[in-house]
Structure 1
Amino acid sequence: MRKPLIVATALSFCSAPAALAQDAADADNVYDRDHLTVGVGAIYGPSYEGSNDTVVSPIPVVQGSYKGIQINPRPRGAAIDLIPDGKDAKIGFSLGPVAAVSFNRNRRIKDDVVRAAGKLDAAIELGVNGGITAYRLLNPYDSLTVSADVKWDVNGAYKGMTWGPQVTYMTPLSKAMIAAVNLRAHHADDDYARYYYSVTPAQSAASGLPGYEAKGGWDTMSLGALVGYDLSGDLRDGGFMLIGAVNYGRMLGDGKRTPYTSLRGSADQWTVGAGVAYTF
């Protein structure tokens, strides 16, 4: 059994693998060989983490596999899995580098008060991802993956570390359609929390928000669902696929208590998205 193909993370709010809908022995399967997926999507969601204002943002899709090494999308980034699974493996493992860019409160801030507090620098995050996947749980083609990303800011923005565990279950619904659900959480250290959730004296004077000193901890959790539909009617032959997804997130801890959320935004974070991808 090959590694799962990640498509939904490219839409920035849900990780979900697209797998075979039928036995690969019955037809040529593009995902069993070297392949590349490219495409574009759009998400409609909060303008910053904790905002109750929404914006539309384009999201590129890039995923592929070469000699068993996979490139899987992350929100505004990518992860590389350096451990190939055997074709008939019941359990698979993943391990490799991950990189992403965070534009949280860096641009497109619709709230005048939050914008007055000042634009933050974009963060460039580098780290490692790892996980384990169980195949063929409820049917011959489903999978359950437990994984985590650990990342450090190397651009001098928040200058700290985050880590995010997640659980993803995928199952095909037909030869042409897949569905997935994803549960994930985000843990931030004190440096991250101070940068994004604290209100410094200067920010308070500029915006009128009360001062606030934030500390690290679990700051978000989310539950997402995705459906993908292959336009040819068969996932195995590649080509064009339509993707739709919805995600509910909840701000926690100081991510919820910060004035940026509690006074100017909302702890409830809804995101919807759609996209199209082409695999060859």
Structure 2
Amino acid sequence: MIRRFILSAGPMAAALALAPSASAQEEDHSSLTIGIGGAYIPSYEGSDDYRAIPIAQARGKVHDFAFWTRGPALYVDAIPNRDSDGVDFELGPLVNLRFDRTSRKGMKDDAVRALGKRDMAVEVGGFVGIGKTGVITSAYDNLSARVAIAKDVAGAHKGYVITPAIEYVTPLSITTFVGMSVSAEYVSKKYGRYYYDVDGADATASGLPLYDRAGDKAGFKKVGVNLTAGKSLSGDIRKGWAVFVLGGYSRMLGRYGDSPVVSVAGSKNQWIGALGVGYTF
């Protein structure tokens, strides 16, 4: 149950990450938002079967040092956000647990299940980014860009993942906000080989055709967009209870989308949805 509680690909995480926080109040140098809810996600990355799972996420800051979760990933910004002009430079470590195809129960497709389970990957790395408050619609909207890179240190796929992302959020009132994020994933040869190639033994066991192109070279695996909105239940989106909703779409790209794991047993089109409640202290 604990593992399933953090299996989300990031729906609630994106909603919380885009939510306006108490950082808008200059006197508050520490804050915490926690959220719980449910998500509807593909049973594995590239699947056309879906499942509902519980999710839990958090974000906050301690003396202006920010931290946040995205699914089973934790980011910690080592640069405090104290710029009076609304510019926020980001730099810090991250760690991500990748549970994709680590449980036969989570793989609904018989052919993919026959390929066997994958080990959990522990991806460790860092990120760099920049954000600006007061950009387009008001003095309180925020536009940010970030690039993260992490390498598996647990001996699962043994490769690396690079994730560029752009995020925009704007409050519609003191009680409501909307946001959008666009991101992509660029993965190494080892990553592609581990999750998307089908060798002779795999083909015999699963009935899927042989495939060895995913591990040829590094490349962009997918690109996606998330739309999110939040509504305060306590009269101020920066404090107290709020509800969040998120919808997202991503597209599997190139030789990863052409893998039989996706093109035969699954789909290049990936959808996610989430609904939850959060509390900001």
Aligned residues: 267
How much has 1:249 moved relative to structure 2? 0.4
- Kept in 1: contact 2:230–2:244 (CA 8 A): yes
- Kept in 2: contact 1:101–1:122 (CA 8 A): yes
| Alignment match of 2:111 (pick from 110, 113, 124) | 113
Question: What's the counterpart of residue 6 of structure 2?
Answer: none
| Alignment match of 1:227 (pick from 219, 226, 229) | 229
Question: What's the counterpart of residue 276 of structure 1?
Answer: 277
SS across alignment from 1:183: strand
Question: What's the counterpart of residue 33 of structure 2?
Answer: 37
Please give the residue correspondences for 1:172-187 in structure 2 after superposition, counting only pairs within 5 Å.
172-187=171-186
Please give the residue correspondences for 1:76-155 in structure 2 after superposition, counting only pairs within 5 Å.
76-107=72-103, 108-138=106-136, 139-155=138-154
How much has 1:86 moved relative to structure 2? 2.1
Question: What's the counterpart of residue 254 of structure 1?
Answer: 255
Question: What's the counterpart of residue 240 of structure 2?
Answer: 239
CA–CA separation in structure 2 for the residues paired with 1:15 and 1:193: 30
- Kept in 1: contact 2:145–2:167 (CA 8 A): yes
Question: CA, structure 1 residues 147+277, in 2 after alignment: closer, same or farther (shift >3 Å)?
Answer: same
Question: What's the counterpart of residue 56 of structure 2?
Answer: 60
CA–CA separation in structure 1 for the residues paired with 2:11 and 2:39: 10
Q: Which amino acid aligns with 1:104?
A: D
TM-score (norm 1): 0.90
Output one character per residue of 1:121-144: Cα deviation in whole Å (capped at 9) or x when no partner: 111111101101122112110011
- Kept in 2: contact 1:15–1:182 (CA 8 A): no
Question: What's the counterpart of residue 165 of structure 2?
Answer: 166
- Kept in 1: contact 2:13–2:57 (CA 8 A): no
How much has 1:61 moved relative to structure 2? 1.3
How much has 1:18 moved relative to structure 2? 2.0
- Kept in 1: contact 2:100–2:120 (CA 8 A): yes
- Kept in 2: contact 1:20–1:172 (CA 8 A): no
- Kept in 2: contact 1:249–1:268 (CA 8 A): yes
1:156 aligns with 2:152: no
SS across alignment from 1:235: coil
Question: CA, structure 1 residues 190+15, in 2 after alignment: closer, same or farther (shift >3 Å)?
Answer: farther
- Kept in 1: contact 2:114–2:205 (CA 8 A): yes
- Kept in 2: contact 1:41–1:273 (CA 8 A): yes
Question: CA, structure 1 residues 251+10, in 2 after alignment: closer, same or farther (shift >3 Å)?
Answer: closer
Gaps of 5+ in 2: 1-8
CA–CA separation in structure 2 for the residues paired with 1:15 and 1:254: 32
Question: CA, structure 1 residues 14+65, in 2 after alignment: closer, same or farther (shift >3 Å)?
Answer: closer
SS across alignment from 1:38: strand
Q: Which amino acid aligns with 2:225?
A: L
How much has 1:199 moved relative to structure 2? 0.5
Question: CA, structure 1 residues 90+63, in 2 after alignment: closer, same or farther (shift >3 Å)?
Answer: closer
Q: Which amino acid aligns with 1:200?
A: D
Q: Which amino acid aligns with 2:252?
A: M
SS across alignment from 2:194: helix
How much has 1:105 moved relative to structure 2? 1.2
CA–CA separation in structure 2 for the residues paired with 1:12 and 1:202: 38
CA–CA separation in structure 1 for the residues paired with 2:244 and 2:58: 14
Q: Which stretch of the first structure deviates more once superposed, 227-236 or 44-53?
A: 227-236
Output one character per residue of 1:223-261: Cα deviation in whole Å (capped at 9) or x when no partner: 11000111112123x111111000000000122000011
Please give the residue correspondences for 1:204-219 in structure 2 after superposition, counting only pairs within 5 Å.
204-213=203-212, 214-215=214-215, 216-219=218-221
Identical-pair percentage? 37
How much has 1:57 moved relative to structure 2? 1.6
Gaps of 5+ in 1: 1-7
Question: What's the counterpart of residue 4 of structure 1?
Answer: none
SS across alignment from 1:211: coil
CA–CA separation in structure 2 for the residues paired with 1:241 and 1:15: 10
CA–CA separation in structure 2 for the residues paired with 1:178 and 1:47: 30
